[in-house]
Structure 1
């Protein structure tokens, strides 16, 4: 697939969604969807279920065997789970303690916790689904991930605080978890009366594999290949662009979040199971050095570093470079535009490598028209 560099971020949708038989069965349902108002579900080309054989516990790597193989342009439904609070030794206890039913989804979580082993070397991270091999993706390309849908297969999520964790680690003296129960009609979450958090689900982790020379790496710190970006704006109808480092890309996802404030300051969001339906598009020869994102109204540039000040500088550099190279301004003009019209937000301060993202409004570029797939 070829196009000019500028058209890379402006392409319109490629045809209609194919309605071929799914490679795997078991399409998930959205427990919060109202039957009267629920939109017609997208029928994917492939479904990757949240079963033990499709999970990887906490890491990415070029040697991790793919659980599915898809084509450039395919739509894939990827089911994920949330094991927050669920122990490997007695996974049923979490549900009993919190008066939660051990329904079909809970049984999947229990089976995963009993059967999916951590990485032998001691790497720890999230419970993830994947990886998925995308035909045609090669090192030096980039992968466009169109987030077509995000649904919630369980009607609760979990947030926790613990000593040594979060943005004020020394201030926390006791560990406590809060089960947020969802109100389907109001689309909100609460753990006690008088608190309603609007549900805005997104995937905390969306990654391609790192290069082979990096070996296996934890899913906790984000990096140039994506991972635990925790950017709350990556909701339904948005797009993530990732650089390809290995043949097939090897896409892995998990860490579903029902809602999160910028910063993710307790250490986690409302951790919840989320089913991602996405379209994979390969851009041949379109090199990226960092993840990049797009919404109907904004471009998003990403900065990462262990030092938050450096993460800010990296996000600003990425934003200025984008405005200069993609939109046709000089460096000084781009920096002026960034200073007067671009917002820098802290994605998260708790994932070892910290994140800042720059929100670039399309509306300020009044002489330019930006096509978008939504």
Structure 2
């Protein structure tokens, strides 16, 4: 049986995963502005072939330090269906008072990208009330997106503008905070030919870049929210499967949605147990698609091979239950099984993975394999 994405979209429920209608992937001719001509060269896992309609550069005026809010002015306005390259930075390990020291101490070039990081740290101010979080690029206003809609974010590409990333351990941080006695920062250098990262000889971590933070603005009545804990509007989900070719779906709470991103990861194990992954600068290329009147309650995701249900809570046990509830609801409501059948399928075929245990609100995601549903065909853009 062929199940169209349009049919699934109409059947979206409170707990189900929507499978959204897709159109052919097209690009519009792109003419760079004077500000975009002198962009830094990027190191990519493959040659970039996508021409964006817009480029949002990692400049101080395009950054927000650590929070989302409906009153944060957008740095760009784009149309429904536009392809946008969003440049992000990684200030991990870099001091605000002497940012140059990090690069010289670690024998890293003070190139154009490093100069952008230094300029951002010297000019972007933290949130006045004391909220802290990640250095983020945005927000971006998507024309046509309104409350009660949902936004589909197709991840077309992720490239590295700098050949390294940073991981740290520190007392009081991570999944075993009492066992860490000293702070230490590790610089992972990239071998782009081998597509690996290494902190010392004898260890190679496969590079699998993704964005830790992709968020829309919370509703206006929530005020400013830190980017550290994830929530129903997305944010610091830290789901390592949101790589190139995946899709994230988020509920729209304010006009224009106000998409913000940052916290690039070169690689991460499920759990992110030291407190951070390989924190890295990433240039993210996405396509935004607005789905009118398709309200979501929680983030949802999809890859070519899996549907992903998300569970969030400050209690990891409750996050697990929420992920299970979301997975069962999807299998039941969207694929036509009874609840008991859905729970049986979840128990025998669905992998439940801990996204992260270090972001105040903890995450579990359910990996629902498409291949087990042999009577159905699922169209997908990637």
Structure 1 gap segments, 5+ residues each: none
User: Aligned-pair distance for 1:30?
Assistant: 2.5
3-state secondary structure, aligned to 2:121: helix
CA distance in 1, matches of 2:48, 2:281: 21
CA distance in 2, matches of 1:59, 1:22: 29
Q: Which of these residues, 22, 25, 43, is aligned with residue 36 of structure 2?
A: 25
3-state secondary structure, aligned to 2:36: coil
Q: Which of these residues, 117, 120, 124, is aligned with residue 128 of structure 2?
A: 120
User: Aligned-pair distance for 1:12?
Assistant: 3.2
CA distance in 1, matches of 2:278, 2:151: 28
1:313 aligns with 2:321: yes
Q: Deviations over 1:16-46 (max 9, x none)?
A: 122243576255543245xxxx434200000
1:49 aligns with 2:57: yes
3-state secondary structure, aligned to 1:25: helix
Q: Which residue of 1 aligns with 2:15?
A: none
Q: Which of these residues, 259, 274, 283, is aligned with residue 267 of structure 2?
A: 259
3-state secondary structure, aligned to 1:313: helix
Alpha-carbon contact 1:206-1:226 (below 8 Å) kept = yes
Alpha-carbon contact 2:217-2:254 (below 8 Å) kept = yes
Alpha-carbon contact 1:76-1:278 (below 8 Å) kept = yes
CA distance in 2, matches of 1:3, 1:132: 27
Q: Which of these residues, 166, 169, 179, is aligned with residue 171 of structure 1?
A: 179
What is the correspondence of 1:116-195 to structure 2 with a 5 Å cutoff? 116-195=124-203
Q: How many residues align?
A: 369
Q: Which residue of 2 aligns with 1:94?
A: 102
CA distance in 1, matches of 2:32, 2:338: 48
Alpha-carbon contact 1:239-1:294 (below 8 Å) kept = yes
Q: Deviations over 1:50-99 (max 9, x none)?
A: 00000000000000000000000000000000000111111111111111
Alpha-carbon contact 2:25-2:381 (below 8 Å) kept = no
CA distance in 2, matches of 1:267, 1:173: 15
Question: Do the aligned partners of residues 290 and 270 (structure 1) sit closer, same or farther apart at CA in structure 2, a change above 3 Å counting?
Answer: same
Alpha-carbon contact 1:60-1:216 (below 8 Å) kept = yes
Question: Do the aligned partners of residues 15 and 186 (structure 1) sit closer, same or farther apart at CA in structure 2, a change above 3 Å counting?
Answer: closer
1:291 aligns with 2:302: no
User: Aligned-pair distance for 1:5?
Assistant: 3.7
Q: Which of these residues, 331, 337, 354, is aligned with residue 329 of structure 1?
A: 337
Question: Do the aligned partners of residues 40 and 104 (structure 1) sit closer, same or farther apart at CA in structure 2, a change above 3 Å counting?
Answer: closer
CA distance in 2, matches of 1:149, 1:30: 12
User: Aligned-pair distance for 1:10?
Assistant: 4.8
User: Aligned-pair distance for 1:3?
Assistant: 4.1
Q: Deviations over 1:114-139 (max 9, x none)?
A: 00000000000000000000001011
Q: Deviations over 1:318-357 (max 9, x none)?
A: 1111111211222111111111110100000000000000
1:276 aligns with 2:288: no
Q: Which of these residues, 354, 357, 363, is aligned with residue 362 of structure 2?
A: 354
Alpha-carbon contact 1:22-1:44 (below 8 Å) kept = no
Alpha-carbon contact 2:40-2:113 (below 8 Å) kept = no
Q: Which residue of 1 aligns with 2:257?
A: 249
Q: Which residue of 1 aligns with 2:14?
A: none
Alpha-carbon contact 2:198-2:205 (below 8 Å) kept = yes
Structure 2 gap segments, 5+ residues each: 11-17
Q: Which residue of 1 aligns with 2:312?
A: 304
CA distance in 1, matches of 2:8, 2:32: 33
Larger mean CA deviation between 9-18 and 257-266 belongs to 9-18
Return the TM-score normalized by structure 2: 0.94
3-state secondary structure, aligned to 1:203: strand
3-state secondary structure, aligned to 2:354: strand
